Structure 1
Amino acid sequence: MPADLAVIGLGHLGLPLAQAATAAGIDTIGYDTDPRPVAELAAGRPPVDGSLTASEIRRMLSGGFRPTTNPTELGRVRTAVICAPTPLGADRTPDLAAVTGAARALAARLRPNTTVLLESPVHPGTTEDVLRPLLEEGSGLRAGRDFHLAYSPGRLDPGNRAHGFAHTPRVIGGLTPACTESAAAFYGRLTDKVVRARGTREAETVKVLETNFRHVNIALVNEMAVLCHELGVDLWDVIRCAETKPFGFQAFRPGPGVGGHGVPVDTIGPYRPLRLVELAGQVNERMPQYVIQRCATLLNEHGKSARGARVLLLGVTYKPDLADQEGSPAAEIGRRLMDMGAVVSYHDPYVADWRVRDLPVPRADSLYEAAAAADLTVLLQHHRTYDLQGLAVKAQLLLDTRGVTPAGAAHRL
């Protein structure tokens, strides 16, 4: 059955797009080569990252959304959006294997006048230099003449209800002005504002800048956290005061590491590396080790060794109040604690099963009892369900890596 839209890739980018399109009355199919998420979605079950609830999936299905692994469905749509994952490869550039696979599957079935959009994070030039040739060679059609081609960087903040899909401006850069306008017409049905970039490369570079902006600023406050601890300065009070400045400052806060799907890109294709981003990545990657160092020091100061110590980790997801563990520093912190001989357990209201090195980590059923029994409790993620005042009273020793406990109630990062 024909559809208006095909979303290719049903991950953290594709599913919210499919949800927004279905809610807008756009007949949508979701294509993925992995049969597992397709089967789960078709059965009305939510994704494991918790990005959508079961009721939201059911509403999508009742609204006509059809998940599929059948590539022939791609030849029956007016618009196709590629949302394939692009994790960083060994050379620190995005791995385009999933994007090129999606392009080949689409190209074999591409029809004239179709609008093709790429949302996956890529280095500048990918839409024109990689995606375009694959689509043209596989279809015999010409981009900009026979079909429209454009790039739009994914802009999602999972769990943020104030800035959902409809209220987040969309940047669009087309191969030609007509391509840009075709893409703008599509996204204009889903969002309040469309921003037109000069071309595909500018739109691609928007994503690079936005992602690197986050990582560089987090690296700055992470370094400040280490410095302020050495100086005996309360960094969170410093940030509280600094953010009252009405211009020239945006508050970022330190933590045990940087998680999420947006990874920093410090090498742009064949061009020179971004040295500041490279350094920021090194700073952020050191934070789990710094947490371990603080854990060992606190235990030693209280007459205990890390070997054999009972350590309770609170919150193993990358973001508060979500189940998504993508890039969470908790796994590395858990590994390092185990390597030191600590007995690790965890608590997270959103994660029923957590594994380190493919081995299950014991889950605490009673938070307060577990905190009281542990030699050290480490708050890695601040879920709203946590009563931090009560936790600080119950825990023998509490390390707060998020700076959210009441002043003086815990040791802060």
Structure 2
Amino acid sequence: MSIDSTNTIQQEEIKTDQLQELLGKIEQKNYTVGIVGLGYVGLPLMWTFHSNDMPVLGFDIDKEKISCIEEGRPYIKHLGKEMMQKLADSDKAGATVDFSRIPEADALMLCVPTPLDHHREPDMQYVEKTCLTVGENLRKGQLVILESTTYPGTTEELIIPILESKSGLTAGKDFYVAYSPEREDPGNVDFNTSKIPKVVGGHGEEAIELACALYDTSIVETVPVSDTKTAEAVKITENVFRAVNIALVNELKVVFSDMDIDVHEVLDAADTKPFGFMKFVPGPGLGGHCIPIDPFYLTWKAREYEQHTRFIELAGEINTSMPQYVVDQTLKALNAHKKAMNGSKVLVIGLAYKPDVDDMRESPTFKILDLLQKYGAEVSYYDPHIPVIKPTREHDEWTGVESIAWSENIISQFDAVVISTDHSCIDYKELAKWNDCIVDSRNSLKDISPDNDIHIWKA
């Protein structure tokens, strides 16, 4: 046997021994899970592993989030105070802004934003900066998992080269790399992080085995796929599917409206078919961190292969046009009351991108507010879950603006009310009594029959 062959066998034995040692630590629940980015994805993930008796260490650049975790104060409303207090009281949970503590974690799950830039192309700065920091502190034997939604190829083409360059270590030999896309649905009481199956792709079989073993401690099911780019494509596919179908019903809404047909009645009736139909609901545009963004990641990457995703791009065009449609309907509603948009007082209800949460990421309401203001309206908002607008990446001009109070005296003074988000805690019958010009983009007033003094515009 040659020396080279002997060295190869020895290296494989070392790798196998290292893997078995790490798998043993996971089985014994002596394997520290590091969560980088403690937002709507990272914080529930941290809680999920902690709930299953795994030691957790959270990292974030936001000192306020760290203070909240240490003091048991909730900063994501739907997750509640009880969860935060248990994290604060636990000797197996911690959070820090000190990234030099990265070597303390056995696994590092990267849960950082992947937005679009002003050209609607992937903005990978948060991923890149995080990987540079992780790479500077990486040690042998660690597992790095990207959870952020991204384009196929990110892990192999961007993540691994940065980690190897900054650490001097080799992926698949000295440390492990995997990709497992987040599938969070904020506020969904039926499916929290632990109940949603985890798709896992790895850089090599050992990475897949290790990542699956880790998720198996806390997640209902793991779904291994052949590699990281396949796992990245799974997440993109899930959200493209939703974006395209939402675009379809949004287009139907516009067409049927001109035909004096209620699209919601049509969809409800179509949904009685027990096969071959899946109901999607139209609205004022797409919100949240995934559906408005992910399809554009794929269209951008496809151009590298000289492929043109015409179907996906058309869906994006339709969905991004919906805030303008809502504003156009508001113009018509005001005109029916013999009022101009310019100078009118308009109230927009709902800043969150979906009902019953305080998550305003990519909310179409921001675009509606911008357009109304552009046309000269005096704009206010009401959202019981968001009493004041916090800083965002793209809408700094609204930072610090406060929600109005819910009262007849205030709401009756507006020339028009636009329903952008249908929070369940809002009394829509009361709203219909207090204002006679309502533009309803969510079918919130479906059970309210307008009388001669109330105009309800379905947008």
Class of the TM-score when normalised by the shorter of the 2 chains: over 0.9
Match of 2:429 among 360, 384, 389: 389
Q: Retained in 2: the 8 A contact 1:93–1:265?
A: no
Which protein shows a greater Rg?
A: 2
1:72 and 2:100 equivalent? yes
1-side partners of 2:107 and 2:400: how far apart? 43
- 1:4, 1:372 → 2: CA distance? 55
Alignment of 1:54-69 (within 5 A): 54-63=81-90, 64-69=92-97
The one of 244, 249, 258 aligned to 1:216: 244
* Distance in 1, Cα, partners of 2:362 & 2:119: 18
**Is 2:408 aligned against 1:368?**
yes
SS at match of 2:410: helix
Residues 348 and 417 in structure 2, CA contact (< 8 A), matched pair in contact too: yes
Report sequence identity in percent.
35
Q: Is it true that 1:197 corresponds to 2:252 in the alignment? A: no
Query: What pairs up with 1:12-411 in 2 under 5 angstroms?
Result: 12-47=40-75, 49-63=76-90, 64-262=92-290, 263-266=293-296, 267-269=299-301, 270-271=304-305, 272-354=307-389, 357-358=397-398, 361=401, 363-407=403-447, 408-409=449-450, 410-411=456-457
Assess if the C-alpha contact under 8 Å between 1:312 and 1:378 holds in 2.
Answer: yes
Please report the RMSD computed on the Cα atoms of aligned residues, expressed in angstroms.
1.9
Query: Hey, what's the Cα distance between the residues in 1 that align with 2:194 and 2:204?
Result: 25
Aligned to 1:265, the other structure's residue is in SS state helix
In the TM superposition, structure 1's runs of 4+ consecutive aligned residues that sit over 6 Å from their partners are none
- SS in structure 2 opposite 1:286? helix
The Cα shift of 1:37 comes to: 2.6
**1:35 deviation in Å?**
2.9
Q: Secondary structure at the match of 2:79?
A: coil
What stretches of structure 1 of length at least 5 have no aligned partner? none
Question: One-letter code of the match for 2:210?
Answer: S
Partners of 2:339 and 2:314 in 1: how far apart? Answer: 35
Distance 1:114 1:260, change over 3 A: same
Larger mean Cα displacement after TM superposition, 260-269 or 17-26: 260-269
* 8 Å contact from structure 1 (residues 388, 406) kept in 2: no
Contact preservation (8 Å) 1:312, 1:370? no
**Alpha-carbon distance between aligned partners in 2 of 1:359 and 1:61, rounded to the nearest angstrom:** 29
1:91: Cα distance to partner?
Answer: 4.7
Report the 3-state secondary structure (helix = DSSP H, G, I; strand = E; otherwise coil) of the residue aligned with 2:107. Answer: strand
TM-score normalised to structure 2 length: 0.85
Question: Which has the higher mean CA deviation after the structures are superposed, 172-181 or 34-43?
Answer: 34-43
1:31 to 1:3, Cα distance in 2 relative to 1, 3 A: farther
CA contact (8 A) 1:310 1:342 kept: yes
Task: Tell whether the 8 Å contact from 2:69 to 2:87 is kept in structure 1 after alignment.
Answer: no
List runs of 5+ in structure 2 lacking aligned partners. Answer: 1-29, 451-455
Whole-Å separation in 2 of the counterparts to 1:276 and 1:367: 45
Q: CA deviation at 1:44?
A: 2.7
Amino acid at match of 1:101: K
Partners of 2:338 and 2:183 lie apart in 1 by 48
CA contact (8 A) 1:3 1:27 kept: yes
Q: Which moved more, 1:342-351 or 1:364-373?
A: 364-373
- Secondary structure, aligned partner of 1:366: coil
1:131 Cα offset (Å): 1.0
Mean Cα deviation higher: 230-239 or 116-125: 116-125
Q: CA–CA distance in 2 between the matches of 1:182 and 1:68?
A: 25
Report the Cα distance in structure 2 between the residues aligned to 1:363 and 1:85, rounded to whole angstroms.
Answer: 26
Whichever residue aligns with residue 318 of structure 1, its letter is: Y
Q: Is the 8 A contact 1:11 1:85 kept in 2?
A: no
TM-score (norm 1): 0.94
Would you tell me which structure has more helix in proportion to its own residues?
Answer: 2
Q: How many residues align?
A: 411
SS in 2 for 1:149: strand
Using the TM superposition, give the Cα deviation of residue 302 of structure 1 relative to its aligned residue in structure 2, in angstroms: 1.8
Q: Counterpart of 1:16 in structure 2: which amino acid?
A: P
Q: 1:359 to 1:142 in 2, by over 3 A?
A: closer
